[in-house]
Amino acid sequence: MIDTENLTKKFGDLTAVDNLTLHVNDGEVFGFLGPNGAGKTTTVRMLCCLISKTSGSARIGGYDIGNKADSLKIRKIIGLVPDNVGLSEQLTAYDNLDFYGKIYDCTEAHRKENIQRFLEMLGLWDKRNVLAATFSKGMKQKLAIARALIHDPQVLFMDEPTANLDPEAAKTVRDFILQLKKEKKTIFLNTHNLDEAQRICDRVAIMNTSLRAVGTPQELERSVSGKKTVIGLDQQVNDAVLAALKKLALKNLSIDGDTITFDVEDPDKENSPAVGAIVLAGGHVRSINVVGSTLEDTYLKLVRK
Amino acid sequence: MRLSEAWIVASRDFKIFRRVKNVWSSIIIFPVVISVLFPVILEYLAVRGSHGLAAPGVLPNLLNSFSFFLVIGAAYVPLGIASYSIVGEKVEKSLEPLLATPLTDGEILLGKAISAVIPTLVAMYAAAAVFMVGIDGVTFHTLGYYYFPNWNIATLLLVLMPVAIVMSVLFSVIVSSRVNDARSASSFGVFILFPLLGIYLASETSIITLDVNSLLIISGILLAVDVALFYVSTATFRREEILTKWK
pLDDT at residue A278 above 70? Answer: yes
Average pLDDT value for residue range A54-72: 91
The interface residues of chain A toward chain B in range 45-64, judged by CB-CB distance below 8 A, are: 45, 48-52
Q: Residue A234 in contact with residue A260, Cβ under 8 Å?
A: no
**pLDDT band at B102, cuts 50/70/90?**
very high
Confidence (pLDDT) at A252: 84
Which residues of chain A have a CB within 8 Å of the CB of B104?
A: 72
Which residue would you say has higher pLDDT here, B182 or A75?
A75
Name which of B5, B93, B103 is nearest A86 (Cβ-Cβ). B93
Give A23's contacts (C-beta < 8 A, 6+ positions apart).
A2, A3, A4
Chain A: closest CA distance from residue B214 (Å): 43
Q: Residue A236 in contact with residue A263, Cβ under 8 Å?
A: no
**pLDDT band at A93, cuts 50/70/90?**
very high
Chain A: closest CA distance from residue B61 (Å): 46
CA distances B204 to B53, B63, B146, B200, Å, are 12, 10, 22, 6
pLDDT at residue B141 above 90? Answer: no
The model's pLDDT over B175-213, given as tens digits with 9 standing for 90+, comes to 887 777 777 877 888 888 999 999 988 888 888 888 899
Nearest to B200 by CA among B46, B64, B43, B40: B64
Confidence (pLDDT) at B10: 93
Average pLDDT value for residue range A31-36: 89
Chain A: closest CA distance from residue B227 (Å): 25
pLDDT at residue B46 above 70? Answer: no
Q: What is the average pLDDT score of chain B?
A: 86
The model's pLDDT over A6-29, given as tens digits with 9 standing for 90+, comes to 999 999 889 999 999 999 999 899
Confidence (pLDDT) at A60: 93
pLDDT at residue A176 above 80? Answer: yes
pLDDT at residue A101 above 80? Answer: yes
Confidence (pLDDT) at B226: 92
Testing the interface with B: which of A95, A102, A141, A190 to mutate, by most B Cβ within 10 A?
A102
Name which of A75, A95, A99 is nearest B102 (Cβ-Cβ). A75
Testing the interface with B: which of A10, A71, A88, A141 to mutate, by most B Cβ within 10 A?
A88
Contact between chains at B15 and A95 (C-beta distance less than 8 A): yes
Residue of A nearest to B95 (CA): A86
Which residues of chain B have a CB within 8 Å of the CB of A50?
A: 96, 99-100, 239-240, 243
Residue B129, classed as helix, strand or coil, is helix
Q: What is the average pLDDT score of chain A?
A: 89
Residue of B nearest to A148 (CA): B97
Residue type, B8: I
Q: Is the ipTM of this complex over 0.90?
A: no
pLDDT at residue A115 above 90? Answer: yes
Confidence (pLDDT) at A215: 87
pLDDT at residue B222 above 60? Answer: yes
Confidence (pLDDT) at A49: 92
Chain A: closest CA distance from residue B120 (Å): 21
Name which of B103, B104, B243 is nearest A50 (Cβ-Cβ). B243
The interface residues of chain A toward chain B in range 74-133, judged by CB-CB distance below 8 A, are: 75-76, 78, 80, 82, 84-91, 95, 99-100, 102-104, 131
Contact between chains at B16 and A51 (C-beta distance less than 8 A): no
Which residue would you say has higher pLDDT here, B184 or A88?
A88
CB atoms within 10 A of CB B70: 25
The interface residues of chain A toward chain B in range 132-171, judged by CB-CB distance below 8 A, are: 144, 147-148
Testing the interface with A: which of B18, B90, B99 to mutate, by most A Cβ within 10 A?
B99
Which residues of chain A have a CB within 8 Å of the CB of B97?
A: 80, 82, 86, 100, 144, 147-148
Which residue would you say has higher pLDDT here, A227 or B220?
B220
pLDDT at residue A86 above 70? Answer: yes
Confidence (pLDDT) at B120: 93
**pLDDT band at A146, cuts 50/70/90?**
very high
pLDDT at residue A79 above 90? Answer: yes
Confidence (pLDDT) at A305: 66
pLDDT at residue B44 above 90? Answer: no
Contact between chains at B102 and A48 (C-beta distance less than 8 A): no
Hey, what long-range contacts does A239-244 have (CB within 8 A, 24 or more apart)? A240/A281, A240/A282, A240/A283, A241/A277, A241/A278, A241/A281, A241/A282, A241/A283, A243/A281, A244/A277, A244/A278, A244/A280, A244/A281
Which residues of chain A have a CB within 8 Å of the CB of B102?
A: 72, 75-76, 103-104
**pLDDT band at A56, cuts 50/70/90?**
very high
pTM of the full structure: 0.79
Strand pairing category for A55-60 and A29-33: unpaired
Confidence (pLDDT) at A116: 94
Asked if A178 reaches chain B (Cβ–Cβ under 8 Å), the answer is no
Give B243's contacts (C-beta < 8 A, 6+ positions apart).
A45, A50, A51, B95, B96, B99
**pLDDT band at B49, cuts 50/70/90?**
low
Confidence (pLDDT) at A225: 58
Q: Residue A204 in contact with residue A220, Cβ under 8 Å?
A: yes
CA distances B131 to A9, A21, A293, B151, Å, are 57, 67, 80, 16
Average pLDDT value for residue range A149-161: 92
The model's pLDDT over B58-68, given as tens digits with 9 standing for 90+, comes to 788 888 888 99
CA atoms within 13 A on the CB side of A34: 26
The model's pLDDT over A199-258, given as tens digits with 9 standing for 90+, comes to 889 999 988 888 888 888 877 776 665 678 899 999 899 999 999 998 888 888 899 899
pLDDT at residue A112 above 90? Answer: yes
Lowest-confidence region among A161-170, A185-194, A253-262, B123-132: A161-170
Q: Mind giving me the DSSP string for A20-69?
A: EEEEE-TT-EEEEE--TTSSHHHHHHHHTTSS--SEEEEEETTEETTSHH
Confidence (pLDDT) at A119: 93
Average pLDDT value for residue range A131-155: 92
Q: Measure CA of the first residue to CA of the last residue in chain B; give whole Å.
A: 27
